[in-house]
Amino acid sequence: MKGPAVVERMVATNGVELRVDDGGSGPLVVLAHGFPELARSWRHQVPALIDAGYHVMAPDQRGYGGSSRPTPIEAYDIEQLTCDLLGLLDDAGEERAVFVGHDWGAIVVWALAQRHPERVAGVVGMSVPFLARPSGPPTAIFRHLFGSSFFYILYFQEPGVADADLGRDPATTMRRFLAGLSEGNGGGSLAELVSADDGRGMVERLPEPAGLPGWLPADELAAYVAAFTRTGFTGGLNWYRNLDRNWELSAHLAGTTVDVPAAFVAGASDPVLAFTPWQGMERWLTDLRGVTLVDGAGHWVQQERPDEVTVALLGFVEGLDLG
């Protein structure tokens, strides 16, 4: 992410170093990416938020890009991930910030709003709605629901398996992930990610796009490919391998609500919404200030429809009391 108003720097926090795109001044907005992404997925929103008078920090989260990639799987549990983001506030000398998260980043910022509401001025989840703590360990629930079928989250659980699959050819992996889950390909890719286990891995199940969508120019895709060629995918996959651990670590939050100002943004064609519907989320978000479904967008909503997402974010942030 380049530009005169943004610097790339390393922030030491919570036992790791995070590479952060940092710029602007004013109330702090922290942007947390998902899987398999990088801070650059916010490349359109960062300058827009800076121009609107905000201080923006967008990290490569732990396990990604230029940030630390600890070896132990448990180093990627929800306590570590939320504390990483709190460390950015401490580095900036701020008591509170607005947190915006996409995909796995949404799960982290929702959790942060529950765990440390005094540090959260507002929270926006993108693509993954707030999910209440389930009645049992998530992987056990998934195995009950999907039986012997292939389900990508269960496929991700065994260390080394998905790592090798996704890392075999990062160019194919990232092309199919980014273009395959964008608008127009979402339904087909969802069907393949929850289907009979015929021996295929994850990458084989993602559709090969006829070409790159307009929002994903070749040089942008190349930047993702270069990053994941260097790092591999293990860091990001380890987030999934903590689902049951996260469930155990959140026992004290069972039945609790998110009480800070909140909003939800997603692509109307996002396949994730088929198995994590946003309807009913208002029961758990006591100050829900808006749901924005962006027509013509799939899973990578802030990249596919940057202008609409930026308008939604600014509308939410400008309505907060950030004094």
Catalytic residues: 103, 299
Distances (CA, A) of 137 to 33, 109, 143, 151, 300: 25, 21, 10, 16, 28
For residue 315, the tally of other CB atoms under 10 A from its CB is 13
Distance in angstroms (rounded) separating the CA atoms of residues 280 and 282: 5
Cα–Cα distances in Å, from 234 out to 34, 39, 110, 220?
A: 14, 17, 23, 22
Measured between alpha carbons, how far is 232 from 169 in angstroms, rounded to an integer?
10
Q: Tell how many helices (H) and how many strands (E) occur in the chain.
A: 14, 10
Distance between CA atoms of 312 and 95, rounded to whole angstroms? 24
- 53 close to 28: Cβ distance less than 8 angstroms: no
